Chain A
Amino acid sequence: MEGIQILSIVTFFPLIGVIALFFIDRENEVLQKTVTLIVTTVTFILSLYLLIYFDPSNPGFQFVERYKWIESIGANYILGIDGISLFLYLLTTFICPICILSAWNYIDKYVKEFLICMLVLEVGMLGTFCALDLLLFYVFWELMLIPMYFIIGVWGGPRRVYAAIKFVLYTLFGSVLMLVGIIFYYLFVASKTGEYTFDLLKWYQVLPPFSMQVWLFAAFALSFAIKVPMFPFHTWLPDAHVEAPTPGSVILAGILLKMGTYGFIRFAIGLFPHAAYFMTPLMVTLAIIGIIYGAMVSIVQPDVKKLVAFSSVSHLGAVMLGIFAMNIQGLEGAMYIMLGHGLSTGALFIIVGMLYERKHSRLIADFGGVAKAMPIMAAFFSVTVLSSVGLPGLNGFVGEFLVFLGAFKVKPLWTILSATCVILAAVYLLWMYKRVMFGPIREENKYLPDMDLREVLLMTPIVILYVVMGICPNYFLGKMHTSINAFLQGYEKRIAMNVYEEKVQPLALIRGGK
């Protein structure tokens, strides 16, 4: 396998689509969409190479590529994935063609620009999940802000400008502080080892003193918490989700939010274990508040899309709970919910989009009984809702079960509190489903067209994955297990190191290390 720079190829493959789009006539929208669909699909197929050749027994990073980038400051181009990032990476390549397909009729103006934004967005997201150099990671992390800003702002709903600016300002606010943290830590590493580097693996080997960890953790965690979004940093999310066009919402819910939780695992906890340990009560409290608050708010939403958006706050709270349980079940469960949520919430947004395309409304009250008019959609919708609720046999159950198992081991009370989210999720999702799909049908809804072939095609792979993930979770967990185990062992080993007594002034350290 050596010699094939598969990660670079997959990550930057969408750019071929961008180049191709420049040469296609503006009028020929079908060709533009087809080309983009082909490019994203090929990206997905290429990424399957990673799945096939991924060695589940190897806990370290695989498919590593390493090139010099900005030598003078020690920033390198390093890519690599392990069991933690593998499926997030694949989820991205999987969701992107589906997004393009879901946008087929929805996007009717500036099609070319939209497709270019989507492709650039894909590059940014893929890069974020496989960059192992902190500066490179930051570049990808910020890169995806730009196309997302346009996707929400140009193709979004009526309050799109407000939502787009809010989205960018919130995330930018978090990430610039992370940048300070990155440079600060970089100088610290240099002062300790004498080597100026942004290499994540080398950073893992340097443990800052506790007082410094807390601040750095705060800088990183704020950025990730905004992205996740954790309560109380979640207010951008409903606006962004509701105003974004369907593909934008799918990407936001499916992948962007996971960048936050991924960042927590890989960077905030991985680099600052003591601070993470110290902050656990706070993080868990916020996670539980998020779980319950998100669910409660979802119940009363009159707008389907808003309901789904708030349900993300709740689900991501469960992910955070699993992460900060800090045991194998919790983390594996968190990873599993991340994947499952990416699929089922993505699918929910796609279905909401389909409903909107037909009725130009997202209010629950405007529907009712439409299952009679759209039986196929009703079927897909029901599976998706059940998967999101966590029905055993579908993907949602496995993750939630593992998270609660993991959390129960540490703090039973937390778990009992947060397990309410399962009940609440059933309340808001099933109740919403009932009100939308069943009951007496209105006259004007009787002739709503059912899902066409394209829509069936784009939903089918997702539904198949629900079942696969629900029935054979071992396939997925097996690939993650070694890496997560190694991560936890590393965490425990580092936690055992004493960094409390060291009396260090971080700034003095840096000055000394010049």
Chain B
Amino acid sequence: MANFDMLSISPDLVLIAFALLFLLMGAFSRTPKVHKYDMLSIIAFSLAILLNLFIFGSKRFGFYDMMLYDDLAGIFRFIFYGIGILVSLMSDPYIEGKVRHKGEYYALIVLSVVGMSFIATSYDLIMLVLGVEAMSLSVYILAGMFKHDEASAEASIKYFLLGAFSTAIMLLGIAFIYGTVGTTNYNLIIENYNKYLHSGLQVGIFMLGVSAVLAGVLFKIAAVPFHMWTPDVYEGAPTSVTAFMISGVKAASFFMLLRVFLVALKVTVFNLVGIMVFISIITMTLGNIAALTQKSIKRMLAYSSIAHAGYMLIGFVALNKTGLAAIVFYLIAYALMNIGAFAVLVLLEEKGKNLENVSGCGFLYPFLGLMMTIFMFSMVGLPPTGGFMGKFYIFKGALEAGYLWLVIIAVLNSAISAYFYLRVLVYMFFEKPLDTGGVLQASSPAVTTALVITSLGVLVLGIFPQYFFELTTKYMTYLP
């Protein structure tokens, strides 16, 4: 029992070491600019991926059963580290000159990924909270990284206050759960629930705890009605950080939803389905309708990310293998297309805040135009892109479970969403360039690499989804 299984957390140890190195390099170096933090961070993530590959396929309990490394955790670690690499690629030219201590920026990205990775391996609610906090605290700071930008500072404060509030509620829920079943270990929760909880009052308190945990998770995935922070925070945060939050934090939060509710609290899952159906409907509908009127691309993408969370919740509602595996597949496609879209915005930053400002950019910079086209059509869910296959799998899962009407609401939603995604392309291709338009904010091989990787990824997921979907299905072993 008392096994300190260092191997299972070895990728994270490597990452922590690199994060400390970044901090030290920043502190001790007289000429901080010369350091290639982005290269180092990519090396760090690559090492982590290699180590993860090494232990992938094994199932390991560790640290007094507080951690469990299994295949699903392994897959999610790949997703998180991959996101780390992509975000590192797109960060450097963007924060150049805007962030004084670049080492800290990269250290925080790396530490936040470590937090996500802890979420993926946690097998105990306390451990889970540690992971959530490690991830969130780093992101609170990252969101405010542009110190002299009011929006950035506001985003940071807002995210911090609401995030801390949500974590507190989550902790409260965990306390209730602990109070009723006397444990925070995923396995034991179930056991003790069946063993000790007999009276309605006890079950009631337990369910109260579950609801509070659910509220915390829903806050992190930005589902309605816990979505209020999303547009301001996503818009205000530096674009590269937004990309990180929208892909990484959301993926980690969905992992929480899968692991905590399908493993630890699975007795309660069926009680939750009704409310989750409702939440998924209002989440996608409100997200899409609010996105319709946005003038800022970042804000539009923020609302659209709410809508995407709604689609993914359908997979959870379906509660079958297809639906749950579809969530993971969708998350991968979603991360790729969002990081890609934000990478385009990184290159257009000075202009790219508002729709009018990108007028004519599509033909001015054909490469960026092509990339944005791929990402936008993927978000609409048109073939041959990953967004289409993701939606397809989600709908398939939901139909298998008999939720025809829910699927119809979802497809009508995605038809609505076409309007605002295509509007970006309208401005990029159909409008004349503004006279005031400057040149590219920054053009860099690193960002271009990130764009090529994400766009190819989106297309591969769309044309040959087979491999990825089988992978996610194979390891989606949690079914109530």
Contacts and interface: CB of A to CB of B under 8 A. Distances in A.
B384 interface: yes
A142 B320 contact: no
A138 B418 contact: no
A139 B366 contact: no
Interface stretch (A84-92, A171-179, A407-415): A171-179
Contact of A180 (B363, B381, B408, B429): B408
A180 B395 contact: yes
Contacts of A150: 425, 429
Interface string B269-311: 0000000000000000000000000000000000000000000
Contact of A507 (B320, B402, B414): B402
A169 B320 contact: no
A239 B411 CA distance: 25
A182 to B, nearest CB: 9
Interface stretch (A157-165, A339-347, A461-469): A157-165
A139 B383 contact: yes
Contacts of A507: 402, 404
A173 B418 CA distance: 9
A161 B426 contact: yes
Contacts of A179: 392, 395, 411
Contacts of B465: 70
Contacts of B395: 179-180, 183
Interface stretch (B62-70, B114-122, B466-474): B466-474
A145 B382 contact: yes
A184 interface: yes
A507 B382 CA distance: 27
Given A113-B366, A138-B383, A146-B377, A177 B400 contact: no
B166 to A, nearest CB: 34
Contact of B399 (A73, A149, A510): A510
Given A110-B363, A172-B418, A507-B402, A146 B382 contact: yes
Given A72-B473, A179-B411, A180-B408, A160 B399 contact: no
A154 B395 CA distance: 33
Nearest to A112: B366
B472 to A, nearest CB: 10
B412 A176 contact: yes
A139 B384 contact: yes
B419 interface: yes
A78 to B, nearest CB: 16
B430 interface: yes
A311 to B, nearest CB: 28
B434 interface: no
A70 B407 contact: no
Contacts of A183: 392, 395-396, 399, 407
Interface in A165-202: 165, 168-169, 172-173, 176-177, 179-180, 183-184, 186-187
Contacts of A154: 429-430
Nearest to A174: B415
Contacts of B466: 69-72
Contact of B470 (A69, A72, A145): A72
B422 interface: yes
Contacts, number: 98
A145 B377 CA distance: 10
A294 interface: no
B378 to A, nearest CB: 11
Given A153-B430, A154-B430, A179-B395, A511 B415 contact: no
Interface string A64-78: 000001111100000
B289 to A, nearest CB: 15
B426 A153 contact: yes
Interface string A135-155: 100110011011001100110
A514 B429 contact: no
Nearest to A188: B399
Interface residues of A, number: 39
B122 to A, nearest CB: 30
B414 A176 contact: yes
A173 B415 contact: yes
Contacts of B399: 180, 183-184, 187, 510
A514 B382 contact: no
Interface in A393-448: none
Interface in B437-480: 464-466, 469-470, 473
Contacts of A511: 400-402
Contacts of B412: 173, 176
Given A71-B466, A176-B414, A187 B400 contact: yes
Contacts of A146: 373, 377, 382
A135 B470 CA distance: 18
A169 B415 CA distance: 7
A79 to B, nearest CB: 16
A514 B400 contact: yes
A169 B430 contact: no
Nearest to A184: B399
B415 A176 contact: yes
A106 B407 CA distance: 44
Nearest to B418: A172
Contact of B429 (A143, A153, A510): A153
Interface in A30-85: 69-73
B290 to A, nearest CB: 18
Interface string B386-415: 001000100110011110100110011011
A172 B423 CA distance: 15
A225 to B, nearest CB: 16
A180 B404 contact: yes
A357 B432 CA distance: 22
A154 B470 CA distance: 40
Contact of B430 (A142, A143, A164): A164
Contacts of A165: 419, 422-423, 426
Contacts of A161: 426, 430
Contact of B419 (A71, A145, A169): A169
B400 A160 contact: no
Nearest to B382: A142
Contacts of A168: 418, 422
Contacts of A139: 383-384, 388
A73 B418 contact: no
A172 B384 contact: no
Interface in B355-378: 363, 366, 373, 377
A197 to B, nearest CB: 13
Contacts of A160: 430
A446 B393 CA distance: 63
Interface string A369-384: 0000000000000000
Contacts of A172: 380, 382, 415, 418
Nearest to B413: A176
A217 to B, nearest CB: 16
A511 B415 CA distance: 27
Contacts of A72: 466, 469-470, 473
A145 B402 CA distance: 30
Contacts of A514: 320, 400
B211 to A, nearest CB: 28
Nearest to B462: A139
Contacts of B422: 149, 165, 168
Tell me which of A110, A142, A183, A508 has the highest count of chain B C-beta atoms within 10 A of its own C-beta: A183
Contacts of B381: 176
Contacts of B363: 110, 113
Given A153-B426, A510-B402, 4 more contacts: A176-B411, A179-B392, A180-B411, A511-B402
For the complex of A and B, the 9 pairs showing the least CB-CB separation, nearest first, are A176-B411, A139-B383, A507-B402, A153-B430, A173-B415, A70-B466, A142-B382, A161-B430, A142-B383
11 contacts: A70-B465, A139-B383, A146-B373, A146-B377, A153-B430, A169-B419, A172-B380, A177-B408, A183-B407, A186-B396, A511-B402
Interface of B: 320, 363, 366, 373, 377, 380-384, 388, 392, 395-396, 399-402, 404, 407-408, 411-412, 414-415, 418-419, 422-423, 425-426, 429-430, 464-466, 469-470, 473
